[in-house]
């Protein structure tokens, strides 16, 4: 069994290094794509005169494509943030995503050469494929980010479901508009990355905040009404922010916990005991603060993943404890 632990430790270390190289590779691909696009913007001088109208049109096409690719990078970074290991299936899907995104410069060049029904619709089709692939990867990566994968898939659908569907419908609608008016369709495409950029950060933060709840807390949260969900998320966001800002200040942690409990009691009738059962670390912070002891640093979420042979850790306290047990 000792050899098994050593193998898992080595596999985990190797996968973490691979994940780092994978991130570097992905960032490099995005950087190259953006560089190629700007190099494809022609600047024509005819008889010593610059055609400002044509230049403005070319830059406009570039801006639309740049915003879309930049938003793709931003969403890609958010998806893989805090993920220490990725499966081969996710890697393959991500390569397909990068392949689709790398075609954007080609379609951008086509639109710069001539904004026609065909060129704009082809670019819209590429946007649609990229958006669908992003949704598939975001859902498949949840088990790598959260222990309670099934519960978090439900939460992900709640948070992102309407946004994802509306994004797909918007792109499809803009493609249809481009069929009748290519210029109008191209202008409308700029809405997609702007809308996505504005909404994605807050939605990703909501997903991260809910992941701090235990499975029973997630299940209870999903039973709340829409207005109560929004209200609870606001309380939860404030509590997590105050706890992180408090750092090692036990009094500040206690005050944050008591304020959180008062808010959920007043709004939802949830007792302090129920709140403790919902929240992963709330009970510990409460007890430690009241006893005047500094809070115990818990291992990260990745460090408490189950020992399933895929490079995770046991729930019994981490790598060193696991090794000592098998050596004994």
Domain residues of the chain, as ranges?
A: 2-200, 215-300
CB-facing half-sphere around the CA of 202: CA atoms within 13 A? 8
Report residue 210 as tokens.
């809910």
Pick from 108, 104, 131: nearest CA to 196: 131
What band does 323 get if pLDDT is binned at 50, 70 and 90?
A: very low
Percent of the chain with pLDDT over 90: 11
Q: Confirm if 271 and 264 have CB atoms less than 8 A apart.
A: no
- Tell me which of 81 and 118 has the higher pLDDT: 118
Q: How many H-runs (helices) and E-runs (strands) does the chain carry? A: 15, 2
Please give the radius of gyration of the chain, using alpha carbons only, rounded to the nearest integer: 24
pLDDT level of residue 27 (50, 70, 90 thresholds): very high
pLDDT score of 95 = 93
How confident is the model over 88-117, as pLDDT tens digits? 888 899 999 999 999 988 888 888 788 888
Q: Is the pLDDT of residue 65 over 50?
A: yes
b (16+ CB within 10 A) / e for 281-299: bbbebbebbeeeeebeeee
Res. 63: pLDDT tops 70: yes
Average pLDDT over residues 203-221: 79
Predicted confidence (pLDDT) per residue in 154-211, tens digit = 777 777 777 888 889 989 998 999 999 988 888 888 888 888 777 777 777 787 788 7
| Sequence-ordered list of residues with C-beta below 8 angstroms from that of 304, at least 6 positions apart, any chain | 147, 313, 315, 318
Q: Does 243 have pLDDT greater than 80?
A: yes
Q: How far apart are CA 162 and CA 156, in angstroms?
A: 10
Length of the chain: 328
Average pLDDT of the chain to the nearest whole number: 76
CA–CA gap between residue 187 and residue 226 (Å, rounded): 34
- Kindly state the tokens that stand for 153: 């898939």
Helix axes 149-180, 182-189, angle to 10 degrees: 150
CB atoms within 10 A of CB 189: 25
Task: Look up the pTM and report it.
Answer: 0.68
Terminal CA-to-CA distance of the chain, rounded, Å?
10
């Amino acid at each position: 069994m000792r050899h098994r632990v050593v193998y898992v430790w080595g596999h985990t270390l190797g996968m973490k290094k691979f994940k780092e190289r994978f991130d570097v590779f992905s960032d490099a691909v995005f950087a190259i794509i953006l560089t190629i696009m700007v190099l494809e913007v022609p600047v024509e001088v005819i008889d010593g005169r610059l055609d400002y109208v044509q230049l403005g049109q070319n830059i406009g096409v570039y801006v639309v494509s740049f915003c879309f690719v930049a938003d793709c990078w931003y969403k890609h970074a958010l998806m893989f943030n805090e993920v220490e290991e990725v499966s081969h299936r996710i890697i393959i899907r991500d390569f397909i995503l990068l392949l689709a995104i790398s075609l954007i410069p080609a379609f951008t060049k086509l639109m710069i050469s001539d904004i026609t029904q065909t060129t704009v619709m082809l670019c819209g089709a590429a946007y649609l494929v990229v958006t669908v692939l992003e949704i598939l990867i975001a859902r498949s990566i949840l088990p790598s980010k959260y222990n309670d994968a099934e519960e978090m898939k439900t939460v992900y659908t709640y948070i992102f479901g309407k946004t994802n569907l509306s994004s797909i419908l918007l792109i499809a609608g803009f493609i249809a508009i481009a069929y009748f008016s290519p210029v109008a369709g191209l202008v409308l495409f700029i809405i997609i990355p702007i809308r996505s950029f504005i909404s994605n950060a807050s939605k990703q933060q909501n997903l991260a905040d809910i992941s701090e709840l235990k499975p029973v807390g997630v299940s209870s949260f999903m039973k709340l009404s829409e207005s109560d969900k929004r209200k609870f998320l606001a309380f939860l966001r404030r509590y997590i922010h105050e706890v992180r800002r408090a750092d090692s200040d036990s009094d500040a942690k206690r005050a944050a916990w008591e304020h959180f409990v008062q808010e959920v009691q007043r709004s939802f009738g949830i007792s302090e005991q129920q709140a403790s059962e919902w929240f992963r670390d709330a009970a510990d912070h409460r007890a430690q603060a009241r006893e005047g002891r500094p809070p115990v640093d818990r291992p990260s979420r990745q460090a408490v993943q189950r020992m399933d042979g895929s490079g995770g850790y046991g729930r019994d306290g981490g790598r060193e404890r696991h090794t000592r047990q098998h050596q004994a």
